[in-house]
Amino acid sequence: MNKLFLVSAGPGAKDLVAPRAIAAINTCSDLVAYGLYLDLLGDICIGKNHHDLPLGEEVGRARLALDLAASGKNTALISSGDIGIYAMASLVFELLDQQGGNQHATEPHESQSQWQDVEIEVIPGISAMQAGASRIGAILGHDFCTISLSDLLTPWQTIEKRIYACAEGDFVVSFYNPRSRKRDWQINRARDILLKYRPAQTPVLLGRQLTREDESIITTTLEALDAKDVDMFTLVTVGNSESRSIIHNRSSWIYTPRGYSKKL
């Protein structure tokens, strides 16, 4: 078959995985993923060949998945969230592009690599920002953006330019990879830039291990956002200048209006 599925495992909860993702995994003999994601998916992974590589070995993981598929094994490369959003799908296509000798071409041309017969299917999934928004209301209710704060692959200058653009455009913003063991100042720098443009009381969501057993949901404000409350398992979503915190039925909610109030 030479088929490689790029599978989205969703934020964590089994009942937020699309049936199409489960069906794809069922047709595969080989799974390439962190062990944690396989644990989250549960029984459907039993009896498959598992291939794991240490954190940080993304390139190796993508190559391995392509090699397995090229050797005739139906293979699933699995990422949590949506595999197309800050996950492995982009890297697979980057490898195909480079192997095809396309990197300096102005027109696309046929790949000639050892992976040329691999048939690719991408299966979308629910990303962390959506899981987080759903737990606290509708903070993504109007125009929004996502920014990864990891400067491993993107120069900080580019990231900071995007934070300024996000602030000037008054976008709701979800920060992925807000902090790691070695990166601790980026989220505070992002907060300081946003504070120049939107109110100190702008609602903020800190969602940790979303939809998983040890989920933690904290709602705070932009001025109170601090790196000490954030780790590599946290999604940080900051509202726009019109986002509001309300209490309904003894729970706190955050929503971003689309502007119906003029009509109400």
d(CA 37, CA 162): 30
d(CA 140, CA 130): 8
Least distance in Å: CB of 112 to a copy of itself? 11
* Binding status of residue 171 toward a copy of itself by CB under 8 A: yes
Least distance in Å: CB of 177 to a copy of itself? 11
d(CA 201, CA 35): 40
Nearer to a copy of itself by Cβ, of 18 and 36: the residue is 18
Q: State which of residues 46, 47, 54, 108 lies at the interface with a copy of itself (CB under 8 A).
A: 108
Least distance in Å: CB of 106 to a copy of itself? 8
Binding range to a copy of itself, per CB under 8 A, among 14-22, 31-39, 70-78, 228-236: 14-22
Least distance in Å: CB of 138 to a copy of itself? 4
Q: State which of residues 32, 33, 141, 186 lies at the interface with a copy of itself (CB under 8 A).
A: 141
Q: Show contacts with a copy of itself in window 31-50 (CB under 8 A).
A: none
* Binding status of residue 197 toward a copy of itself by CB under 8 A: no
Least distance in Å: CB of 51 to a copy of itself? 19
d(CA 127, CA 104): 32
d(CA 150, CA 220): 23
Binding range to a copy of itself, per CB under 8 A, among 45-53, 132-140, 186-194, 225-233: 132-140
Token readout for 139 is 């903070």
| First CA to last CA distance, the chain | 56
Q: Show contacts with a copy of itself in window 225-244 (CB under 8 A).
A: 244
* Binding status of residue 78 toward a copy of itself by CB under 8 A: no
Q: State which of residues 135, 179, 191, 208 lies at the interface with a copy of itself (CB under 8 A).
A: 135
Q: In what order do the strands lie in the sheet with 3-8?
A: 49-51, 30-32, 75-79, 3-8, 119-123
Nearer to a copy of itself by Cβ, of 153 and 228: the residue is 153
* Binding status of residue 55 toward a copy of itself by CB under 8 A: no
What does the angle CA 35 – CA 38 – CA 39 come to, to the nearest 5 degrees? 85
d(CA 238, CA 260): 21
d(CA 187, CA 16): 28
* Binding status of residue 98 toward a copy of itself by CB under 8 A: yes
Instruction: Say which residue the tokens 């459907």 belong to.
Output: 44
* Binding status of residue 16 toward a copy of itself by CB under 8 A: yes
- Residue at 180: amino acid letter: S
Distance (Å) of CA 190 to CA 169, 194, 222:
15, 6, 10
